[in-house]
A and B are shown apart, each in its own frame.
Chain A
Amino acid sequence: MTTTAKQKVGWGTANTVAVVLAIVPVLWIVSLSFKDPATITDASFWPKKWTLENYRGIFKTSEFTHALINSIGIALIATFIAVVLASMAAYAVARLSFPGKGLLIGMSLLIAMFPAISLVTPLFNIERSLHLFDTWPALIIPYIAFGLPLGIYTLSAFFREIPWELEKAAKMDGATPYQAFTKVIAPLAAPGMFTTAILIFIFCWNDFLFAISLTSTTNARTVPAAIGFFTGSSQFTAPTGSISAAAVIITIPIIIFVLFFQRRIVAGLTSGAVKG
């Protein structure tokens, strides 16, 4: 295949346009977050004077710090429990055959598609009567419920790729079942579990609907809900600077995760369905 110079220019231009459209809004957040609150409306693309004022602003009150702690804690706990439960289920799905397996998988797929809004309204009433409303478990419980099907789906795909014969081989060589699991199977399963954990973590981290519906104070409010309630320095100014700073802070961990594990995350999302 030969490429003429003209074609090369064409492809290069198309690439540039696509990258600019994707990346400029992101750079704009970063730029806004470093602008002086007084000049945030000056519409210049780069800050005339770089300042950390917005970042200092959101950490000045405990509201954002609290939200950050809530976000990290809730997402980590929910992810951990969901990955443990999903691994057990995916193990059974990938390795054992038993009647009704198809039904179980279909059910978990359908639950993954269950509209979150239809769950918010009953959970609100139930959690209020159980005095769970506005606590960490109030969010952890629905997050596990939505993280689980996602986890079962991706982990089944990963587990199916593991050469389970190795486990038998290890046992024949005299390993106990425990040793066979920890020394042979666990290291093979770890990358898949880790990828799944990242996907579930991102889901919990990004959630907004449950976060604003099932919390009411800084007690359990996570960052996405907290930035929805940000106000400017007066009620007539838009809190653009603080929102941008908060957006930068909460987006950084996700970008780092994904950049490191990009290939594997795509594999996790596509292999389950496409390789079947």
Chain B
Amino acid sequence: MTTVSTDRAPSVDKPPRRSSAPDAAYSLSSRERWMRRAPLLPGLIFLIIVTQLPFVATLVISFMRWNALSPQNKGFAGIDNYRKVFSDSALRASIVFTIVLTVTVVLVSLLLGMLIALLLDRAFFGRGVVRTLMITPFLVVPVAAALLFKHGIYNPSFGLLNGTLTAIWNVFNGSAPQPDWLTEHPKLMIEAQLIWQWTPFMMLILLAGLQSRDKEVVQAAHVDGASPWQVFRYITFPHLRKYLELGGLLGSIYIVQNFDSVFTITSGGLGTANLPYTIYQTFFSAHDYGLASAQGVVVVVGSLIIATFALRVVSSLFEEGV
């Protein structure tokens, strides 16, 4: 399952710099070859034992009828669990929400991150301080951020959102609407919290990209009479493309798996259960180990497909771009 993409993994594109004898390794005795691999082995063996062996266990359990609440009724179930995974409408809904959540958060935070990076790319007084202030949302421990948004910001009676509304309406002597944000827009609220947290991350990566751009080309374009929009469209944006890809890829990997925000903000209620949360529920609340394992296998297969695809996209970009 791991061989699909590896020949194109980005880090392999460039052979190591010290290449005085590039083919020497291939003519070594087998003992020497293993000596060369030796420093890699402890880490690799550890990874295989801790991640792949449990996965094999999951695979086996996913074909079993095993609910911890009725331990006597344990046995081979064939593909029953998988049938349940794909026929359950609640589960389908959670797959859809996982995709919507990931796409929304990644796209919006990439866009905002790019706008802020463009703002910060200009020299102005206090830029360092502004940049530091901008990244703080990413540094707040995720659970703490999610709890803060739930209790401190979305709370209808004393949250920051309704407090701000009241303050604004007070200026005009009106009475402010006080919506109950979490009940009325649960999905939007989770997305907003994650966007708030992930925009600085995208901004950091894109800012690094902007600063590696060749300043002379930009200046030459200005001299030749290019408008700022043309400079952005034909110089900056193509240059940023691989940084956008990198940010999008890293962001998707983490947001697809998001558990903290869903668990703390809504506890999966009101249609906000995403896949990781659903698996957690099946396992720890329903104690249906068989079904949870089947869901887990589906998630692994799904993310392998996404990861393979993403690796290919990214590495093809590197080949064109660098």
A28-B160, A106-B6, A141-B50 known; A228 vs B147 contact (CB < 8 Å): yes
B57 and A122 contact, CB distance less than 8 A: yes
Number of interface residues of B (CB under 8 A): 113
Q: Does B173 contact A (CB under 8 A)?
A: no
Q: Which residues of B contact A109 (CB under 8 A)?
A: 9, 11, 307, 311
Q: Does B303 contact A (CB under 8 A)?
A: yes
Binds B, one of A147-155, A169-177, A182-190: A147-155
- B27-66 near A? 1/0 per residue, CB < 8 Å: 0000001001111101110110011001101100100000
A258-B135, A273-B246 known; A125 vs B57 contact (CB < 8 Å): yes
Interface of A is mostly: helix
Q: Does A105 contact B (CB under 8 A)?
A: yes
B51 and A111 contact, CB distance less than 8 A: yes
A206-B142, A228-B143 known; A45 vs B279 contact (CB < 8 Å): no
Closest B-chain residue to A272, C-beta based? B11
What is the bound-complex CA distance between A110 and B310, given in angstroms?
A: 11
What is the bound-complex CA distance between A141 and B47, given in angstroms?
A: 10
Q: Which residues of A contact B54 (CB under 8 A)?
A: 119, 122-123, 126
From residue 92 to 145 of chain B, which have CB atoms closer than 8 A to chain A? Answer: 115-116, 119-120, 122, 124, 130, 132-137, 139-145
A255 and B208 contact, CB distance less than 8 A: no
B16 and A160 contact, CB distance less than 8 A: yes
Q: Which of B12, B208, B280 contacts A101 (CB 8 A)?
A: B12
B16 and A85 contact, CB distance less than 8 A: no
Q: Could you tell me the distance in whole angstroms from the C-beta of B45 to the nearest C-beta in chain A?
A: 10
A19-B134, A89-B43 known; A106 vs B2 contact (CB < 8 Å): yes
A114 and B300 contact, CB distance less than 8 A: yes
Q: Does A67 contact B (CB under 8 A)?
A: no
B44 and A89 contact, CB distance less than 8 A: yes
B12 and A88 contact, CB distance less than 8 A: no
A103-B6, A209-B276 known; A238 vs B155 contact (CB < 8 Å): yes
A103 and B18 contact, CB distance less than 8 A: no
Q: Could you tell me the distance in whole angstroms from the C-beta of A70 to the nearest C-beta in chain B?
A: 15
A113-B303, A142-B50 known; A246 vs B58 contact (CB < 8 Å): no
Count of A-B contacts with CB under 8 A?
317
Q: Does A94 contact B (CB under 8 A)?
A: yes
Q: Which of A99, A115, A209 contacts B33 (CB 8 A)?
A: A99
- A76-97 near B? 1/0 per residue, CB < 8 Å: 0000000001101101111111
Q: Does A194 contact B (CB under 8 A)?
A: no
Q: Does A199 contact B (CB under 8 A)?
A: no
Q: Which residues of B contact A95 (CB under 8 A)?
A: 16, 18
Q: Which of B13, B16, B42, B132 contacts A262 (CB 8 A)?
A: B132
A108-B44, A251-B144 known; A274 vs B263 contact (CB < 8 Å): no
Q: Does B235 contact A (CB under 8 A)?
A: no
B13 and A105 contact, CB distance less than 8 A: no
Q: Could you tell me the distance in whole angstroms from the C-beta of B296 to the nearest C-beta in chain A?
A: 4
Q: Which of B15, B242, B260 contacts A274 (CB 8 A)?
A: B242
Best-buried of B42, B43, B208 by chain A (most CB within 10 Å):
B43
A269 and B205 contact, CB distance less than 8 A: yes
Q: Could you tell me the distance in whole angstroms from the C-beta of A44 to the nearest C-beta in chain B?
A: 8
Q: Does A69 contact B (CB under 8 A)?
A: no
Q: Could you tell me the distance in whole angstroms from the C-beta of A36 to the nearest C-beta in chain B?
A: 13
Q: Does A266 contact B (CB under 8 A)?
A: yes
Q: Which residues of A contact B16 (CB under 8 A)?
A: 94-97, 160
Q: Which residues of A contact B37 (CB under 8 A)?
A: 92, 98, 100
Q: Does B82 contact A (CB under 8 A)?
A: no
From residue 249 to 293 of chain B, which have CB atoms closer than 8 A to chain A? Answer: 250, 253, 256-257, 259-260, 263-264, 275-276, 279-280, 283-284, 289, 292-293
- B141-170 near A? 1/0 per residue, CB < 8 Å: 111110111011101011110110010000
What is the bound-complex CA distance between A125 and B311, given in angstroms?
A: 32
Q: Which residues of B contact A144 (CB under 8 A)?
A: 46, 50
B36 and A41 contact, CB distance less than 8 A: no
A1-B222, A110-B307, A117-B276 known; A15 vs B119 contact (CB < 8 Å): yes
B5 and A110 contact, CB distance less than 8 A: yes
What is the bound-complex CA distance between A19 and B318, given in angstroms?
A: 33
Q: Which of A45, A106, A205 contacts B12 (CB 8 A)?
A: A106
Pairs A–B under 8 Å by Cβ, sample size 29 = A24-B160, A28-B152, A29-B140, A32-B152, A42-B158, A44-B163, A88-B43, A89-B40, A92-B36, A93-B40, A94-B16, A97-B19, A106-B3, A109-B311, A113-B303, A114-B300, A115-B300, A115-B303, A119-B51, A121-B279, A122-B55, A124-B283, A145-B46, A223-B141, A228-B147, A240-B155, A247-B147, A258-B135, A270-B243
Chain A interface residues toward B at CB < 8 A: 1, 11-12, 14-15, 18-19, 21-26, 28-29, 32, 40-45, 85-86, 88-89, 91-126, 141-142, 144-145, 148-149, 152-153, 156, 160, 164-165, 205-206, 208-209, 212-213, 223-224, 227-228, 238-240, 243-244, 246-247, 250-251, 254-255, 258-259, 262, 266-267, 269-270, 272-276
